[in-house]
Amino acid sequence: MELQLRDKLGYVPTGRRMKPTNSVYTGLPTTIFEEMSRLAIAHKAVNLGQGFPDVDGPEDIRRKAAEALIEGPNQYPPMMGLMALREAVAANWARFQGVAVDPAGEVLVTSGATEALSDAINALVEPGDEVILIEPLYDCYLPLVKRAGGVPKLVRVTPPEWTLDEAALTAAFSARTKVILLNNPHNPAAKVFTREELRLIADLVIRHDAYVIADEVYEHIVFDDERHVSMLSLEGMRERAVAIGSAGKSFSLTGWKVGYVTAAPALIEPIVKAHQFTTFTTPPDLQKAVAYGLGKEESYFNGLASELQEKRDRLATACGRLGAGVIPCQGTYFLTLDMRPLGLDGDDAAMARRMTVEAGVTAVPVSAFYGSDAPRSFLRLCFSKRDEVLDEAVERMRTWLKSVCQTAA
Ligand SMILES: Cc1ncc(COP(=O)(O)O)c(C=O)c1O
């Protein structure tokens, strides 16, 4: 099959072995996310595996982008981002975190938080530097750190408590630690790190003369009247933290890929250089619209969190009634279910495949977010979906569980 394709595409068989391509990326297996999405399509499943809203964000923001696209200009915007957006990002730091930020020298606009993460890691990490990562891991962290030559040091939190072990974290730091990459609020754990945990991290960072890359893309999706506390706002962190945000998450416009980085001049400078030679700029019409969005009333941001909190409660209550263990969710739009109370133990990836095929509901196995030796009975469900979609998923699970296990309601 492969040979036929090669012939068809006109490759000349050299008969010689060719030099290997980069070892970090070559041969990386298809991710479980892709596999589950394909399986979901094949089985017409309700897909709660995909981590994005099924309704687009505010129409007025989208209209701003459409107007800007027609009015132009549509040429390269300034490399660090449109000033209007950088000013809006700085204004948000003052408004939500009480942090004064210089829009001209401390804010960079990127093509999504993913680009920001890549730029920040490439700009801060030298080959051989140790980088502390907290498992479960958002998927791009490990390959990006390895590609930069960093040596990953993994510290884990595990469900159901997701407690950060102080001794393990302290032991992970060494004289070679360059960076700790912290995702808060945390995907997939839906954990919001406490002020004490953040302080512990900050103190270790200062003690070891290290930096924090703070992936805070879910900054506006925190529940139960809690408020996001940015790493950048902690004493001693202003010159050591690189904070990353995403319009995709804050405005339910994940396809736009507009991100922003905030850091002190000495840190942002090399990050800007990495950005310059990665994407250079981000579409100007989207930047204008995001600048407008960031200027919205506080009620918009509170509304985003409260709407998602209702969805969290809708799905959590229904799944609890089915007999699943529901792990507390403090932020993000992900809910973790413990399948053990249903008698479904063992391999969570197999469980997720089976649920897609037999129940017509797709989730993501939590083990996919660990490097090795992962907990195996937890599934992640995304609840930023329309209510009827969530209800349909629950009904399908109910019917399926009745046929496969005794304990299901
Ligand atoms: C923790 C985390 N970081 C970064 C990203 C990527 O954000 P963006 O789409 O802006 O690149 C995501 C998206 O799911 C995420 O969950």
pLDDT of residue 28: 87
- The rounded distance, in Å, linking the Cα atoms of 356 and 397 is 10
Take residue 299 and report the two structure tokens written for it.
């009620």
pLDDT of residue 407: 57
- Split at pLDDT 50, 70, 90, the class of 131 is very high
pLDDT of residue 345: 80
The answer, yes or no, to whether any atom of ligand 1 lies below 6 A from the CB of 112, is yes
pLDDT of residue 172: 98
Q: Using alpha carbons, select from 310, 309, 316 the residue that is nearest to residue 330.
A: 309
Instruction: Tell me the average pLDDT of the chain.
Output: 95
Query: Could you report the per-residue pLDDT of 16-36, keeping only the tens digit for each?
Result: 788 999 999 998 888 888 899
Residue 9 CB: number of other CB atoms within 10 A?
Answer: 7
pLDDT of residue 120: 98
Ligand 1 centre distance from Cα of residue 390 (Å): 22
The answer, yes or no, to whether any atom of ligand 1 lies below 6 A from the CB of 384, is no
218-244 mean pLDDT: 98
Ligand 1 centre distance from Cα of residue 217 (Å): 6
Specify the ligand 1 atom closest to the Cα of 187.
1
pLDDT of residue 15: 73
Specify the ligand 1 atom closest to the Cα of 248.
10
311-316 mean pLDDT: 98
The answer, yes or no, to whether any atom of ligand 1 lies below 6 A from the CB of 113, is yes
Q: Given a cut of 70, is residue 3 above it in pLDDT?
A: no
Specify the ligand 1 atom closest to the Cα of 114.
11
- What 3 state SS string does 84-135 have? HHHHHHHHHHHHHHCCCCCHHHHEEEECHHHHHHHHHHHHHCCCCCEEEEEE
The answer, yes or no, to whether any atom of ligand 1 lies below 6 A from the CB of 111, is no
pLDDT of residue 139: 92
Specify the ligand 1 atom closest to the Cα of 186.
1
The answer, yes or no, to whether any atom of ligand 1 lies below 6 A from the CB of 257, is yes
Query: Could you report the per-residue pLDDT of 156-201, keeping only the tens digit for each?
Result: 999 999 999 999 999 999 999 999 999 999 999 999 999 999 999 9
253-260 mean pLDDT: 98
367-388 mean pLDDT: 95
- Split at pLDDT 50, 70, 90, the class of 38 is very high
pLDDT of residue 27: 85
Query: Could you report the per-residue pLDDT of 45-67, keeping only the tens digit for each?
Result: 999 998 999 999 999 999 999 99
Ligand 1 centre distance from Cα of residue 213 (Å): 14
Specify the ligand 1 atom closest to the Cα of 258.
10
Query: Could you report the per-residue pLDDT of 71-127, keeping only the tens digit for each?
Result: 999 999 999 999 999 999 999 999 999 999 999 999 999 999 999 999 999 999 999
H/E run at residue 207: helix 195-207
Q: Given a cut of 70, is residue 357 above it in pLDDT?
A: yes
What predicted TM-score, i.e. pTM, was given to this entire model?
0.96
Ligand 1 centre distance from Cα of residue 383 (Å): 16
Pocket perturbation via mutation, ligand 1, pick of 242, 249, 256, 290 by most ligand atoms within 8 A of CB:
249
Specify the ligand 1 atom closest to the Cα of 116.
11
Ligand 1 centre distance from Cα of residue 215 (Å): 8
The answer, yes or no, to whether any atom of ligand 1 lies below 6 A from the CB of 159, is no
Specify the ligand 1 atom closest to the Cα of 51.
14
DSSP secondary structure letter of residue 357: I
H/E run at residue 152: strand 151-156
Ligand 1 centre distance from Cα of residue 353 (Å): 24
- Split at pLDDT 50, 70, 90, the class of 297 is very high
pLDDT of residue 372: 87
CB 278 within 8 A of CB 119: yes
- Split at pLDDT 50, 70, 90, the class of 409 is low
- The rounded distance, in Å, linking the Cα atoms of 181 and 190 is 16
38-42 mean pLDDT: 96
Q: Given a cut of 70, is residue 406 above it in pLDDT?
A: no
Percent of the chain scoring above 90 in pLDDT: 90
pLDDT of residue 4: 66
CA 290 from centre of chain: 19
Q: Given a cut of 90, is residue 362 above it in pLDDT?
A: yes
The answer, yes or no, to whether any atom of ligand 1 lies below 6 A from the CB of 259, is yes
- For the beta sheet containing 334-338, the strands, ordered from the edge strand earlier in sequence to the opposite edge, are 325-326, 334-338, 378-382, 364-365
Sign of the alpha-carbon dihedral angle for 267, 272, 273, 279: positive
Of the given ranges (286-290, 292-296, 367-371), which has the lowest mean pLDDT?
A: 367-371
Instruction: State the virtual CA torsion across 74, 79, 81, 87 in degrees, nearest 10.
Output: -130
Task: Give the angle 36-310-389 at the CA atoms, nearest 5°.
Answer: 40
The answer, yes or no, to whether any atom of ligand 1 lies below 6 A from the CB of 141, is no
CB 134 within 8 A of CB 156: yes
- Split at pLDDT 50, 70, 90, the class of 396 is very high
